[in-house]
Amino acid sequence: MKKLYLLSLISFGFVHVLHAQATLTSAGIPPIGTVITNYEVDPPGVTPGSAGANQTWNFGSAIPTGLSTAVTVLHVDSTPFGSSFAGADFATESTDLQGNMAYSYFTGNASQLDMVGLGTIGVPNIILDYTDPRLVLPFPFTYNSTFTDSYAAYANFIISGVQVNQYRMGTQTVTADGWGTLTTPGGGPYNDVLRLKQEEFIVDSLTYTGFPGGMMFTEKIDSYSWTRDNALSRLFAIVYDSLDAGTTVSYTMGIYYSPLVTGVNEVNGGKPLAVYPNPVMHSPVIHLEVDELDPGMADFLVMDAMGREVKRLSFLVKPANRKSVSVEVSELPAGLYFVRVEQEETRLTAKFLKQ
């Protein structure tokens, strides 16, 4: 769960140019429909380099592994856990290298961006409510800016008939410790890039209702990430992660890069995907309408209100069906569903109610 959460956070750049260095402002908060792709890099030989003004960071020779992950910015009410975070301004859907999915929830204004919740798809699903929100960034934020933040979150879920209570406490310090020119495996050189250094310590305590004792996990995360003007993702990120589970300690290093320009796939006046009839009462099929799909293969998925996949199929998009697709749903029981259409560079999401 933590790695999904971390990947979603390192995927944004909130920046605006000011002379020779970037200043992060709320103007860079990504709009609904933004799709961010993070490409994994082999760690050997990659180090963060130096801090300071007018630096040159060249990671152009780093070798991509061929693996990638995606982060999509969504309307809150189009996500499986949206009802738990109705006050959030937007959400992100993150998929890790193992295909696990998490949804992070944010509020943002002119002075700061906060993370207020996290929901992960699994057995069971976990909804982590930030009782004390996690500060992502205060605005404005530029070279030599720094902040320290403490946060708290709570979740409860059932495993094998036992209620588990999870308490999370965290502290983090973020400093813009350098600016300069950056080259990544995906392009460059990029000028006027700001580097963020982040140090974070997390404690997760688990107790079991009706049983004595519990478990504690501690995690130390140090990361460096680079971003610049109008970027909707980190251009480059290096993450060092140490997890202590009480009996075992694991260390991982993750390196990711994203292209400078990311895609925004949103249609129908801000609605990613239109479904009708909605609610579905007597019709055995639903019709999906979009402005236009790309020619080629597309995947169609349906998830129930708990985020479980209940239907999946692939179809070939032809010129005759680039704006409308019909899908059989007669086998689905009554309830709330989330529907998604995916292509190589497009991910469209909506929900429908079957009665």
Task: Render the burial of 167-184: b for 16+ CB within 10 Å, e for the rest.
Answer: bbebebebbbbbbbbbbb
pLDDT digits (tens, 9 = 90+) for 291-341: 566 777 777 778 765 556 788 877 777 665 556 677 788 888 887 777 777
Global pTM value: 0.72
Q: Residue 314 contacts by C-beta under 8 Å, 6 or more apart in sequence?
A: 297, 298, 299, 300
Q: Where do the domains of the chain lie? A: 2-263, 267-354
Give the tens place of pLDDT for each residue, 160-210. Answer: 889 999 999 999 999 999 999 999 988 888 888 999 999 999 999 999 988
- Class (C level, CATH) for 267-354: mainly beta
- 307: which 2 tokens? 């985020």
Enter the DSSP assignment of 51: -
Phi, psi of 243 (to 5 degrees): -120, 125
Q: Is pLDDT of 232 > 60? A: no
pLDDT tens digits along 12-71: 433 333 335 688 888 778 777 777 788 899 988 899 999 999 999 999 999 988 888 888
What pLDDT does residue 344 have?
Answer: 66
pLDDT tens digits, residue range 101-157? 899 999 988 898 999 999 998 878 899 999 999 999 998 999 999 999 999 999 999
Beta-bridged to residue 129, according to DSSP, are 117, 154
